[in-house]
């Protein structure tokens, strides 16, 4: 199996350019080995998630952002399948409701942060408030400018309280997006995925890329990094995203808690010899 370098996709230094990551990149990988490694990563994630849940002291927040058809939905589906649903939740952030708009932009986000022991995945996030909102000019540039700071403070607040924050942009080209839209229109069972409004957003592609770049540079921190993941090959996207999640969980290094009873006293043999806790009548 080739080696996988995910560090090259990590945004550091404040001068990151999206053009430095080819959305079609697969390093030296081919589909077969990538699938195999993805399965291994999934196994590891499932085990680490159980420990995280049992330990109950830390949590993981995994954020996805992408242009339409970037593969957020299918990546989240594949990443979550097999994880104990009691320990993992997904939050999707759509156009804010009237009530949400009546509050600050982090209000609805903070309500969905992971509790100790949990993994939470965001399908879109507070970054929409410095992406689509900026591109459309729905907030003043002064406010947008302040929001980068608000986001960094908010994410630091979470990390200070035991939440590991990792953010992933699924990176595609406009040509790839068009291909995906075409596929959605070709099959009637995929029509529900097509939204003509996506074509309006698509016209602002360059503005979006510039806006993404600013957000990535302003809000990638050591304690809450951004990764830009080449996403035009589904199997490579899954390989990288699963590796980034596995690495994050391994860094957290969750441990099963110490037993709350004396393991020398409470042995399986003791249960077999009548100490089942049932009333005497039932034991006979």
Part of the chain binding Mg ion (CB under 5 A), chosen from 21-29, 62-70, 77-85, 129-137: 62-70
Q: Would you say 40 or 73 has its CB closer to Mg ion?
A: 73
Residue of 63, 133, 172, 229 that binds ligand ATP (CB under 6 A): 133
Residue of 25, 73, 179, 247 that binds ligand ATP (CB under 6 A): 73
Biggest CA-to-CA distance, the chain? 78
143 forms part of the interface with ligand ATP (CB under 6 A): no
Contacts of 144 (CB under 8 A, 6+ apart): 130, 133, 134
Part of the chain binding ligand ATP (CB under 6 A), chosen from 52-60, 111-119, 126-134, 274-282: 126-134
Residue ranges in 68-87 that form contacts with Mg ion under rule CB under 5 A: 68
Q: How far is the CB of 68 from ligand ATP (least distance, A)?
A: 5
Residue ranges in 78-107 that form contacts with ligand ATP under rule CB under 6 A: 93-96
124 binds, among ligand ATP, Mg ion, none (CB under 5 to 8 A by kind): ligand ATP
Residue ranges in 190-209 that form contacts with ligand ATP under rule CB under 6 A: 195
Q: With beta carbons less than 8 A apart as the criterion, state whether 201 and 95 touch.
A: no
Q: Dihedral (C-alpha) 267, 271, 275, 278: value to the nearest 10 degrees?
A: 140
Q: Would you say 69 or 248 has its CB closer to Mg ion?
A: 69
Contacts of 5 (CB under 8 A, 6+ apart): 27
Q: What is d(CA 146, CA 125) in angstroms, rounded to the nearest whole number?
A: 17
Contacts of 284 (CB under 8 A, 6+ apart): none
Residue ranges in 156-195 that form contacts with ligand ATP under rule CB under 6 A: 195
List residues near ligand ATP by CB under 6 A.
68, 73, 93-96, 123-124, 128-129, 132-133, 195
List residues near Mg ion by CB under 5 A.
68
């Amino acid at each position: 199996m080739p080696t996988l370098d995910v560090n090259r996709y990590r945004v550091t230094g404040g001068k990151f350019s999206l053009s430095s990551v080819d959305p079609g990149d697969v390093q030296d990988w081919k589909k077969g080995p990538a699938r195999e490694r993805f399965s291994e990563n999934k196994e590891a994630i499932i085990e680490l998630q159980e420990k995280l849940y049992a330990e109950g002291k830390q949590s993981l927040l995994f954020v996805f952002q992408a242009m339409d058809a970037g593969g957020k939905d299918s990546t989240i589906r594949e990443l979550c399948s097999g994880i104990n649903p009691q320990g993992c939740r997904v939050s999707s952030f759509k156009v804010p409701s009237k009530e949400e708009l009546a509050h600050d932009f982090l209000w609805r986000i903070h309500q969905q942060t992971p509790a100790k022991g949990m993994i939470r995945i965001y399908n879109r996030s507070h970054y929409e408030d410095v992406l689509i909102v900026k591109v459309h000019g729905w907030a003043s540039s002064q406010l947008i400018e302040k929001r980068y700071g608000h986001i960094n403070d908010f994410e630091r607040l979470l990390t200070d309280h035991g939440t590991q924050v990792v953010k992933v942009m699924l990176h595609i080209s406009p040509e790839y997006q068009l291909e995906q839209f075409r596929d959605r229109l070709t099959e009637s069972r995929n029509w529900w995925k097509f939204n003509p409004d996506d074509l309006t957003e698509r016209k602002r592609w360059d503005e979006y890329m510039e806006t993404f770049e600013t957000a990535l540079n302003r809000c990638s921190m050591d304690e809450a990094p951004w990764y830009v993941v080449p996403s035009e090959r589904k199997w490579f996207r899954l390989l990288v995203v699963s590796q980034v999640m596995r690495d994050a969980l391994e860094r957290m290094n969750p441990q099963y808690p110490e037993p709350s009873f004396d393991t020398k006293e409470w042995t399986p043999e003791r249960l077999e010899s009548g100490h089942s806790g049932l009333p005497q009548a039932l034991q006979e």
